[in-house]
Amino acid sequence: MMHLIRCIVVEALSGIKVVDISTLFAGPTAAMLLGDFGADVVKVEHPRRGDPSRGHGHAKDGVGLWWKVLSRNKRTVAIDLSSEDGQGVLRALLAEADVLVENFRPGTLERWNLAPESLLEANPRLVISRVTGFGQIGPMAGEPGFGTLAEAMSGFASMTGEPDGPPTLPPLALADGIAALACAYAIMVALRARENTGRGQVVDLAIIEPILTVLGPQITAFQALGVIPQRTGNRSSNNSPRNTYRSRDGRWLAVSTSAQSIAERVMHLVGRPELVDEPWFSSGRTRAEHAEELDAAVGGWIAERDAEEVIAAFSEAQAAIAPVYDVSDVVDDPQFRALGTVLEVPDEELGSVAMQNVMFRMSDTPGEVRWAGPRLGEHTDEVLAEAGLDAEQIAALRDKGVVG
């Protein structure tokens, strides 16, 4: 019997149907993370404009590459949600759905007669995840939001960069990515709650909040001690040596000594064991006050050796070091290769497309990238038929421009 069950349940989230009407990155990434583990994700796009992420970043042969990653494992349906007919089609899709992911500004779903209360009335088991910049309540609720604004408002940018330089934004959608992870987590929590209560619910996820979790104890330290984190470049206020250092052959290497044991091994390795006996060496925070001296010791030692020699010596000493990679190194790296991190996914439009694999390995119900982002409206007929519309109804909606 056990054997039979294991054969049938191959994917962790099979049987979970997700309707993703969100755009750009935070909401769609959350839906992608569910699709990676077997949820049936139906991505809804505007019939004429498509998702804006199709046009973001690099394109090959006119095909957006980010889209290929973001919409992997999803089926795509084009529905104009601003039309009454389109709203009816969405309601039909939601009748059998477990999860709705949306990221319109508060008020937009309501304006489209798709208020969460009415969706829950029709399907009380639905989990509705609302991703916004600032949340559903409060003075900024109605404002358009981007991850960039969250990186600014959370305190992240104020503590990032060189001490004498400007506040620094990351060159990627960092707060969106963090919000996406939180959103996927929130949905799993709500699905688990539904097992207890039998009811779905609304999740209010503001992009400005999950990044605070990553920022750690900054609020706690401020309230307790008045500490305001300052920009420290590559240094950390929590430990030292912690920096990037240049080897003799011109490569950059990153060292961290968050653990006391590692800090001690590093100083023995670089020939400065006496520093370990300094009273200030006994904690990361007090080591950080001596970053100048510690960086000079480690940086000087590394500068006299080639990177390969440095890495081998750190490994031998069981100290922590990593080369600073760019993506060309990532796709070539034996560790990532051993993990199967980089994947080639067959694709009708591009032949094949490389991307990062699912985020972690599971021994019994592993995730899988089954296909890359589909064409606009590729699965409209199939998905609407499953929702109970016949071919004539679909053709009529297509003629009106409601679906594509």
Ligand X SMILES: CC(C)(COP(=O)(O)OP(=O)(O)OC[C@H]1O[C@@H](n2cnc3c(N)ncnc32)[C@H](O)[C@@H]1OP(=O)(O)O)[C@@H](O)C(=O)NCCC(=O)NCCSC(=O)C(=O)O
Provide the annotated active-site residues: 176
Among 173, 184, 288, 376, binds ligand X (CB under 6 A): 173
| Residue 103 touches ligand X, criterion: CB under 6 A | yes
- Preceding amide of 241 cis, omega within 30: yes
| Residue 181 touches ligand X, criterion: CB under 6 A | no
Residue whose pair of structure tokens reads 């010791």 in the numeric block: 297
| Residue 73 touches ligand X, criterion: CB under 6 A | no
User: Which of these segments, 23-31, 91-99, 194-202, 351-359, binds ligand X (CB under 6 A)?
Assistant: 23-31
Residue 273 beta carbon to ligand X: minimum distance, rounded to whole angstroms: 48
Among 17, 43, 46, 72, binds ligand X (CB under 6 A): 46
Output 296-300 pairs: Cβ under 8 A, ≥24 positions apart.
297/241, 297/267, 297/270, 297/272, 298/241, 298/243, 298/245, 298/255, 298/266, 298/270, 299/243, 299/245, 299/246, 300/270
User: Which of these segments, 64-72, 141-149, 154-162, 288-296, binds ligand X (CB under 6 A)?
Assistant: 141-149
Site string for ligand X, 106-125 (x = CB under 6 A): --x-----------------
Q: Distance between CA 41 and CA 60 in Å, rounded?
A: 25
| Residue 132 touches ligand X, criterion: CB under 6 A | yes
Output 304-311 pairs: Cβ under 8 A, ≥24 positions apart.
304/248, 305/247, 305/248, 306/247, 306/248, 306/249, 307/247, 307/249, 307/251, 307/253, 310/247, 310/253, 311/253
| Residue 355 touches ligand X, criterion: CB under 6 A | no
Q: Distance between CA 270 and CA 247 in Å, rounded?
A: 13
Residue 29 beta carbon to ligand X: minimum distance, rounded to whole angstroms: 9
Alpha-helical (H) ranges within 258-333 are: 260-269, 284-288, 291-303, 307-316, 327-330
Residue 239 beta carbon to ligand X: minimum distance, rounded to whole angstroms: 31
| Residue 176 touches ligand X, criterion: CB under 6 A | yes
Residue 126 beta carbon to ligand X: minimum distance, rounded to whole angstroms: 18
Residue 129 beta carbon to ligand X: minimum distance, rounded to whole angstroms: 11
Residues 197-236 that bind ligand X (CB under 6 A): 207
Residue 193 beta carbon to ligand X: minimum distance, rounded to whole angstroms: 24
Q: At what angle do helices 26-35 and 174-197 cross, to 10 degrees?
A: 50
Among 34, 81, 93, 255, binds ligand X (CB under 6 A): 81
Q: Distance between CA 207 and CA 122 in Å, rounded?
A: 28
| Residue 105 touches ligand X, criterion: CB under 6 A | yes
Among 31, 39, 44, 353, binds ligand X (CB under 6 A): 44
Q: Distance between CA 93 and CA 18 in Å, rounded?
A: 10
Q: Distance between CA 138 and CA 136 in Å, rounded?
A: 7
Residue 234 beta carbon to ligand X: minimum distance, rounded to whole angstroms: 25
Give Cα 100 distance to the centre of its chain. Answer: 18
Phi, psi dihedrals of residue 345, rounded to the nearest 5°: -110, 125
Question: Cβ neighbours of residue 194 under 8 Å, at least 6 residues apart?
Answer: 125, 127, 200, 201
Q: Distance between CA 193 and CA 243 in Å, rounded?
A: 43
For ligand X, the closer of residues 143 and 332 by Cβ is 143
Among 48, 55, 57, 82, binds ligand X (CB under 6 A): 82
- Could you tell me how many residues of this chain bind ligand X (CB under 6 A)? 27
| Residue 104 touches ligand X, criterion: CB under 6 A | yes
| Residue 133 touches ligand X, criterion: CB under 6 A | yes
Q: Which residues bind ligand X (CB under 6 A)?
A: 23-27, 44-46, 79-82, 103-105, 108, 131-133, 144-148, 173, 176, 207
